[in-house]
Amino acid sequence: MNKQALLDHCKQFLENREKTVHGQMEQLRESLTSETKSSAGDKHETGRAMVQLEMEKLSRQLLELEKARNMLRRVNIMQNTDAAHLGSLVQTDTAYYFLAISCDVFQEDGSKVFCVSTHAPIARALMGKKKGDSVLFNGITYTVLDIH
């Protein structure tokens, strides 16, 4: 499994998500502008307030995306250690996990890799584990087969 492809997959996920959020913000700005030109009264104020709330929500999403981008910058896919860490591809007896950021499942050659944030419970359980170690997560025992 190619860790560079996994890293690129995560970067592309963030870029696509940012484009979507920016597009939604632009639509809201246009909505706000047309709302300002066309209405007055309580209904108008309620509409403006709803648009403002949605803009704030999207701004928070952009901040979270920036945090994820910063996390990806810290990923060193060339670092090889015996223990799972940020940037590790962990092979268990049931699945592969790329410890970086949470994003879509990566598929290659019939294999699935779950890209998970190091803050995710499964990632926290795997961090520091070595080949042959087992972890209990949600009542299921996972055995680490390899760390890439």
Measure the CA dihedral 138/140/144/148, to 10°: -50
Residues 68-99: tens digit of each pLDDT: 999 999 999 998 889 999 999 999 999 999 99
Mean pLDDT throughout 5-21?
A: 98
Predicted structure pTM score: 0.86
Q: Which of 74, 108, 126 is the last residue of a domain?
A: 74
- Tokens 């070595």 belong to 130
56 and 110 part of one domain: no
Q: What distance in Å separates the CA atoms of residue 2 and residue 4, rounded to the nearest whole number?
A: 5
Whether residue 70 sits in one domain with residue 7? yes
Confirm whether 137 is domain-assigned. yes
Q: Can you give the residue range of the structural domain that contains 99? A: 89-147
Over the stretch 24-33, which tens digit does the pLDDT of each residue have?
A: 999 999 887 7
| One domain for residues 106 and 142 | yes
Between 6-10, 71-75, 82-86, 107-111, the lowest mean confidence (pLDDT) is in 107-111
Exposure string for 54-80, b = 16+ CB within 10 A, e = fewer: bbeebeebeeebeebeebbeebebeee
